[in-house]
Chains A and B, each alone.
Chain A
């Protein structure tokens, strides 16, 4: 799993490419922790390149969401592919981690 971080004017844009599983999950936690501790508490995780997510991956997203909220901000996800969408729906986590179509839309209300 490869991550890139781009700092936009209103949020940090993290893109993840690969499989968000037991191997990728700790890396996502690290990347988000670094971004949040660097002062960006509005985070978008762009999952356009994430073809697969398992429960460890979902756990990492939940952990990152908590982290961003504790810092007074929020974490949102964008551009999810069908398998990730399925995991979110199955677990009812789409009610909490609502996917946005694009990263730019995610914090339009902020």
Chain B
């Protein structure tokens, strides 16, 4: 649906002051309410905050590459996107159009040509198919959220929490948990890529993992699960990193298998240790055998598993691990600690899904009783 000329909003993203003013003025004359931004990040923020029917995007911005902005805009907005480029190379144009730009104009441009281009774009109504796609995506996001555990299992002596924040409406990360006779099973997985494709794989992995929950031997259950998944993953050219653990609540022992995930942590009073991985991701290398590992949670210790989206905010893995350890020490509640871990990655900077799961053994009460 094309809004009436009076209600149309435009965001002008351009770092050059004179050109930005010229663009804003020219577009304003066509009845748009115009917001301007001098950097890509400010521009993205303006589109998120105010919404937009039209975006003009300079490809040479000081902070983000114009193509990258184009890609990010398309993750949440279907505004008409006009690229303004001083790089008239054919490749840039084609790439921009591939990434979802609607048209482009080369500098220097005449205001009349700009107005004509904009009106021509708005005469081409957005296809209904796109609206249907958006609706489907919204539904998919709802379904995916509903597959995440809504509440933490009550495990005497432990505090369990988990949170997942997809970078798009749907994503490839998920976590799951369920109480067993003598403890708790916890999994965190990250399917290759992002968006709908990754979400479909993630849902499959979750279902297969669940179906193996009754199997008493964890390593065996993991192997069976992976045999089932490998075939599907190979066919779809995808892979999944997976951390799967069983906690024996009375003993405080955790047995785990890490398939190419690499971000399971044992957080204790002295800091955090990364748990060694048992092999590559599921689906990456045929006929893999994964080594399992184990650890013991002393009272106050926590098992923390995060997804690699967290690393976007840090220089290296060690720095990220230290930050997680600090946040976990600061927040005694599991859910609050998970939220604080997600908050380590500002949501506007997050290019990837971010997920955290935490199982903390409650500290021994001062009187000595557990």
Residues of A within 8 A of B (CB): 22-23, 54-56, 58-59, 62-63, 82, 86-87, 89-93, 95-96
Contacts and interface: CB of A to CB of B under 8 A. Distances in A.
Q: How large is the interface on B (under 10, 10 to 19, 20 to 34, 35 or more residues)?
A: 20 to 34
Given A59-B192, A95-B279, 19 more contacts: A22-B193, A55-B172, A55-B190, A55-B239, A62-B285, A86-B311, A86-B316, A89-B262, A90-B261, A90-B263, A90-B317, A91-B261, A91-B284, A92-B262, A92-B278, A93-B280, A93-B284, A96-B280, A96-B284
A9 B73 CA distance: 45
A91 B281 contact: yes
Contacts, number: 64
21 contacts: A23-B99, A54-B351, A55-B172, A55-B192, A55-B239, A56-B192, A56-B193, A62-B239, A62-B284, A63-B237, A82-B316, A86-B316, A89-B262, A90-B277, A91-B241, A91-B262, A92-B260, A92-B280, A93-B260, A96-B280, A96-B285
Interface of B: 71, 99, 172, 190, 192-194, 237-239, 241, 260-263, 277-281, 284-285, 308, 311, 316-317, 351-352
A58 B237 CA distance: 11
Contact of B193 (A55, A62, A63, A89): A55
Task: List 10 tightest A-B contacts by C-beta distance, closest first.
Answer: A90-B262, A91-B260, A59-B192, A55-B192, A56-B193, A92-B277, A92-B280, A92-B260, A62-B284, A93-B280
Contact of A59 (B237, B280, B285): B237
Nearest to A25: B193
Contacts of A63: 237
Nearest to A95: B280
A90 B308 contact: yes
Contacts of B316: 82, 86
A58 B317 CA distance: 18
Contacts of A82: 316
Contacts of A93: 260, 280-281, 284
A108 to B, nearest CB: 24
A81 to B, nearest CB: 12
B284 A23 contact: no
A58 B241 CA distance: 12
Contacts of A59: 192-193, 237-239
Contacts of A95: 279-280
